[in-house]
Amino acid sequence: MTYPTEAHPLAQAFLEKARAAQEGGNEQMLEPARFRDLLDARALNNGLPVTPVASVVDVIARWDGREIPVRVYYPDISQPVAFSLYFHGGGFMVGNLETHDKICRFLASRAKVAIVAVDFRLSPEHVFPAAHDDCLAACLWILRHAEQHGLDARRFALAGESSGGHLALSTAYRLIEGNHPLPRTQLLLYPLVEMSTDSPAYRQFGSGYLLTEQRMRFYLDSYLAGADITDERLSLLRSPFLGRSSPTYVMTAGLDPTLSHAQMLVERLRQDGVAVTYDHFQGWPHGFLFWGHEAGAIKALEKASDALAAGLA
């Protein structure tokens, strides 16, 4: 299988600049803290607008002896409101509440739902299943304490981009496994579905398109630390709960090494009778949601927000 390789005109210049700077090359030689600072700074300096919301509240989710920072974005002052947890991307290694602030604001404002962003532990200091366990714990905590935070526990979603999309779906399956309340909908934005880099998209887009196979292997090796990648928490296509998924929105990027596995997920969900809405942004690479282009990030976030609003209506 081969994919179109032509970049959107607005993406082409950015890709050429990144290639000239050897994006994804020797950065992995840096110490993890320096590598994280470098990429977090790039994410903060993005082209998205700062969307106003009614209020932003930082709280601590305390669960099983752990303290997990979360940030709640309220779209208005009327309560209780439907909400979505949001798990940020960054290969389980980079990203935080600040790097994804603009995305969360956008989703909250347009979808008119509260966004609960989760600041889970990162690798290599904290390896699998640290991030997975933190996301589940934050979800269970907010469901238990939703009322006191002005949230409607009967109407919630799970959302995330890239590795955060993986954490959203993995959390959903662990909710099913534990007989916990289930999300009404799931929002997966160019999600990382499998821990393997063996796919047609990786072979086509594994270099020269921002997210390189080399960088992805660096991320995965750091977080997995030898874990079995066939574990059902990691290999989502192996999950026995695929057919019990909530209605799901999936967005993919055309020049993305994770594309093949994401499309396989869409196909499998549909085969299992799950309602799936699928948007594909041809000509854009993994990570384009941060760029702020009207034809790319803004359009994509509008579609994602509208899907989230419809799923929680």
What does the pLDDT look like over 76-97, one tens digit per residue?
A: 877 789 999 999 999 999 999 9
CA distance 204 to 245: 30
Q: Quote the pTM value.
A: 0.96
Residue 114 lies in a domain: yes
**Number of domains, the chain:** 1
* Neighbouring residues of 96: CB distance < 8 A, sequence distance ≥ 6: 40, 88, 119
- Structural contact between residues 87 and 120, judged by C-beta atoms closer than 8 angstroms: yes
Residue 153 lies in a domain: yes
Which of 100, 101, 256, 260 is an active site residue? Answer: 256
What percentage of residues in the chain have a pLDDT greater than 90? 84
Closest CA to 250 of 220, 230, 232, 270: 270
Enclosing domain of residue 192? 13-312
What percentage of residues in the chain have a pLDDT greater than 70? 97
Which of 84, 123, 162, 163 is an active site residue? Answer: 162
Residue 22 lies in a domain: yes
Residue 8 lies in a domain: no
CATH number at residue 90: 3.40.50.1820
- Structural contact between residues 281 and 262, judged by C-beta atoms closer than 8 angstroms: no
Q: What is the pLDDT of residue 24?
A: 47
256 is catalytic: yes
What does the pLDDT look like over 249-289, one tens digit per residue?
A: 999 999 999 999 999 999 999 999 999 999 999 999 999 99
Residue 126 lies in a domain: yes
Which of 100, 261, 286, 293 is an active site residue? Answer: 286
Phi, psi of 218 (to 5 degrees): -60, -45
Residue 225 lies in a domain: yes
Residue 93 lies in a domain: yes
